[in-house]
């Protein structure tokens, strides 16, 4: 965890983003380390966990990180949690919790509310259109003989 904290501090001191760092470990060895880079990249998805996952996947040359663990200085937000699930990581160690982070202005409680179905609907409109046309893509994928599932 100290390395994730060091990453977070480095990013914060260089104004790359918020005070968040993460590392990914496999068999006791650090595969990747990253800090939040939202400000320096203008990428709202450049959270430490997502960047650490991208880097680990590149280093290990695979998208399945089920043999890895992630250490993150703060509890993963819903986006990062989803990325962790997509990466098949099975263990997350986190430092501060979502309430600690909200107290300094990084409040992701709206996302949790939205996932639970409790959010004010005016915050985000989600409209289902052209399902039939889009469904065709799924059918084509399903029938594809050389697909690789992930």
143 noted as active-site residue? no
Question: 51-110: which residues touch Zn ion (CB under 5 A)?
Answer: 77, 79-80
Distances from the Cα of 66 to the Cαs of 17, 34, 56, 63, 79, in angstroms? 28, 19, 12, 9, 18
Q: Are 56 and 31 contacting, i.e. CB atoms less than 8 angstroms apart?
A: yes
Q: Is there binding between residue 47 and Zn ion (CB under 5 A)?
A: yes
In angstroms, the CA 97 to CA 56 distance is 24
Catalytic entry in 7, 49, 69, 140: 49
- Which segment (40-48, 96-104, 125-133, 136-144) binds Zn ion by CB under 5 A? 40-48
Residue closer to Zn ion by CB (options 68, 98) is: 98
Q: Is there binding between residue 35 and Zn ion (CB under 5 A)?
A: no
Q: Is there binding between residue 31 and Zn ion (CB under 5 A)?
A: no
Backbone angles phi, psi at 26, to 5 degrees: -135, 125
Q: Which residues bind Zn ion (CB under 5 A)?
A: 47, 77, 79-80
């Amino acid at each position: 965890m100290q390395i994730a904290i060091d990453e977070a501090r480095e990013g914060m001191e260089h104004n790359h983003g918020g005070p968040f760092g993460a590392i990914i470990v496999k068999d006791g060895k650090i595969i990747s380390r990253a800090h939040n880079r939202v400000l320096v990249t203008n990428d709202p998805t450049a959270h430490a966990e997502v960047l650490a996952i991208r880097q680990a996947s590149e280093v290990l040359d695979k998208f399945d990180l089920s043999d890895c663990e992630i250490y993150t200085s703060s509890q993963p937000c819903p986006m990062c949690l989803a990325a962790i699930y997509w990466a098949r990581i099975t263990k997350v160690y986190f430092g501060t919790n979502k309430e600690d982070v909200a107290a300094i202005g990084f409040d992701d409680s709206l996302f949790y509310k939205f996932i639970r179905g409790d959010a004010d609907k005016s915050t985000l409109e989600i409209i289902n259109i052209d399902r039939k046309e889009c469904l065709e893509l799924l059918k084509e994928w399903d029938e594809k003989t050389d697909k690789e599932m992930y």
